[in-house]
Structure 1
């Protein structure tokens, strides 16, 4: 009977160690890189350097664009900009991220839109160059385009 308890205790200990190992195992980065920079021209809003920040959770992904060079000409309330970000797929076609998410911004403030939501597949490689960001504010459409590829490179999703 004593041998049976030792065996059971050893099995429980091995199981606990296995669970602990799983708990502390590192998680893989879902999208790489997580940030990229672009040089964008946005009509009324001006132009210049902007940062794209990407996240992924399975097939759901978000991208946020922020820039100190691109400015809002008017004061804007939170969640008042309807945005559609079109990214170009390396394999052909496009992926669209959209939403009505932005912080409140005073006139002449740096622009931030997002997180904008979209759907990705494993292996998708997405680039802003060749795509666009279309923002609709008070019924007026503003389109941003990039003059060169994003740096350090396209977003690649797991």
Structure 2
């Protein structure tokens, strides 16, 4: 089966639509969410080819296939993250500037800043006294490196 577009996302479906269908999952690392062409396998052993026509990244909960009885869903694997909890705009600005200088991608959920685990970043957070936790957590979308060069 070749998947060329995302049908919907499970977060946009009503619970009755979810409950009545058999679910197969495709487990992906967050780094694979940016790949528009890839071969994957569901947790039931079904092979799929993904060849997305849109310039849109996959997200956790995306439905690749759905009929009246079945659906195939993207499930992003959890990964090792630093969850930064700045207490002030000053701390947020300080750590954002430091991470920006390192060209590290970040995501935000509420008042939390999420970055992929890096022992150097952990050491920096300790040095700056900025609160953080280290957790295995799912991200909804891929960490994206923004192309940039110092000219």
Shorter chain as normaliser: what TM range?
under 0.3
Greater per-residue strand proportion:
1
TM-score, reference length from structure 2: 0.26
Greater per-residue helix proportion:
2
Q: Which of 1 and 2 has greater Rg?
A: 1
